[in-house]
Amino acid sequence: MTTEVLTIGKALNLGLRKAMEDDAKVVLMGEDIGKLGGVFRITDGLQKDFGEARVVDTPLAEAGILGTAVGLAMRGYRPVCEIQFDGFVFPAYNQIVTQVAKMHARSRGMLSMPIVIRIPFGGGIGAVEHHSESPEAYFAHTAGLKVVAVSNPVDAYWGIQQAIAAPDPIVFLEPKRRYWEKAEVDLDATPDPLFASRVVRGGDDVTVLAYGPMVKTALQAAEAAAEEGRSLEVVDLRTVSPLDLDPVFASVRRTGRCVVVHEAPTSLGLGAEIAARITETCFHSLEAPVLRVGGYDTPYPPSKLEEDYLPDLDRVLDAVDRSLEF
């Protein structure tokens, strides 16, 4: 067993390296990912070791990056595209939803699009406009795309490799403010399936669902609740399309209560779909309505206000209190 203590950022770097070693058809593309190693240094050292033909510094042209990736995928390559910041993905939105997501169906299965679109997402780093978005609902709503949101170094290391090896296009969301979180990673382990949720803390009173950067917040809320004698079960969804809700249904049937947490705006967010699915499936087990904790329905604020915008421990605990009052 080979175990290392890795940050999420380093785990992604090692996962990309392993994927490139295993398959010569894996090609990385993005702005400043080569010599600089990316603004978050996720691709640090990869161009030096694999060359400029496999780690490509692209122009500042997200639509061009994704359009090129479509052509490469059609010729048998496995492009991994880095979108430098979440808010920069929208110039490429047309390519993603009209080409990447639909090419397999359009060709009646003759063409595959094994493309990974890496997006650092979410807030919490004190950045300027367009650098702190949570665009997952746009992509989860698009048939033909799969959307993964990792929360820890273990899932980062294994998940990026699984995504690259998959035959379908995957939007791979990375919680940028958690890039420096550390954990032990067994580099020889058998990983969990990519599209599977996981109970990360057992509990009996309320089920708390989260993904990406909010998993840590949910765990912190569970710790605080335990000091008051309340037992929260925390489920890391890990993937938002497809949703793996069987473990969620099993949890909710035990606790009778559920709170869904995400950074994205609450209205029409993933929490709404999850709440509806839980209500449809677990209606007779619920002791309270499924509650949502999310960002406000406003543009992402200036950095000095982001702590007031982002869901935090207190807002999660407030929702837990409201749930238990029913």
CB 296, CB 265: distance < 8 Å: yes
> Which of the following is catalytic: 131, 141, 262, 284?
131
What is the distance between the alpha carbons of residues 80 and 100, in angstroms, rounded to a whole number? 13
CB 156, CB 115: distance < 8 Å: no
SS3 4: strand
All residues at 6 or more sequence positions from 36 whose CB lies less than 8 Å from its CB, including other chains: none
Quick count: other Cβ atoms within 10 Å of Cβ 299? 10
CB 66, CB 31: distance < 8 Å: no
Is 284 a known active-site residue? no
SS3 187: coil
β pairing state of 26-30 and 78-82: parallel
What is the distance between the alpha carbons of residues 296 and 286, in angstroms, rounded to a whole number? 26
The DSSP code for 149 is E
φ, ψ of residue 170 to 5 degrees: the values are -130, 125
* Orientation angle between helical segments 214-227 and 313-324, nearest 10 degrees: 60
Residue positions annotated with a catalytic role: 131
